[in-house]
Amino acid sequence: MGTSSRLKECCVVLDTNMLMLIAQGRNIFNEIDEILLTKCKYIILDLVLKELKKIATDSSKPFNLRRKALLVIKLLETKLKDKYVIESVGAKYANVDEAILEYALINKCYIASNDRELRRKARRLSIPEIYLREEKQLLEASREFI
């Protein structure tokens, strides 16, 4: 019974690079639900959306990357808008990673990211992670909260 109650409260904070997988035609929401064997609550921090919008409009970024970011934003605003909740964390954080880590720690959420440094920091804080396993192109979860 302890495991099922934990799973019912599944929460996943999505990083920008995980959201970018949507542009490759991946349904990350369904894939993560399948990995964790439950329907999760997905959190996108306002700083992550801001970062995504910055990529979409930054002319110094490659055109293809900007186009993908724009596609992700459009899909999040239309077809996927019922899949996640936007949490506002404001400007109190030095960077997006710090905000993701603190939010996940306080709210006992998984972190979904492919950023090695962010994942390393999450492991140090005992925050479970979800990431893309490159050789298999599958999403994988590190572990559950204890």
Q: Does some domain include residue 68?
A: yes
Residue 60 amino acid letter: S
**pLDDT tens digit sequence for 87-131:** 998 778 889 999 999 999 999 999 999 999 999 999 999 999 999
CA pair distance 10, 96, nearest whole angstrom: 22
Within a domain: 79: yes
What is the residue range of 83's domain? 2-141
Q: Is residue 102 part of a domain?
A: yes
Residue with tokens 């960077």: 95
State the pLDDT at residue 145: 54
pLDDT of residue 9: 73
Q: Which strand (E) or helix (H) includes residue 10?
A: none
Q: Which tokens sit at 90?
A: 């404001």
Q: What is the pTM of this model?
A: 0.87
Q: Is residue 146 part of a domain?
A: no
- 58-96 as b/e: b if 16+ CB within 10 A: eeeeeeeebebbbebbeebeeebeebbeeeebeeebeeb
For the stretch 126-136, pLDDT in tens is 999 999 877 55
What's the one-letter identity of residue 86?
Answer: I
Which pLDDT score, from 0 to 100, does residue 7 have?
A: 44
pLDDT value at 35 more than 60? yes
Could you tell me if residue 123 is inside a domain?
yes
Alpha-carbon distances of 98 from 13, 42, 45, 68, 95, rounded to whole Å: 12, 18, 11, 25, 6
Residue 54 lies in a domain: yes
| Number of domains observed in the structure of the chain | 1
Give residue-wise pLDDT tens across range 60-89.
999 999 999 999 999 999 999 999 999 998
% the chain with pLDDT above 90: 76
Tokens of 79: 């077809």
CATH assignment of the domain containing 73: 3.40.50.1010
pLDDT at position 92 = 82
* DSSP 8-state class, residue 20: G
Q: Could you write out the DSSP letters of every residue in 21-90?
A: GGGGT--HHHHHHHHHTSPPEEEEEHHHHHHHHHHHH-TTS-HHHHHHHHHHHHHHHTTTTTS-EEE--T
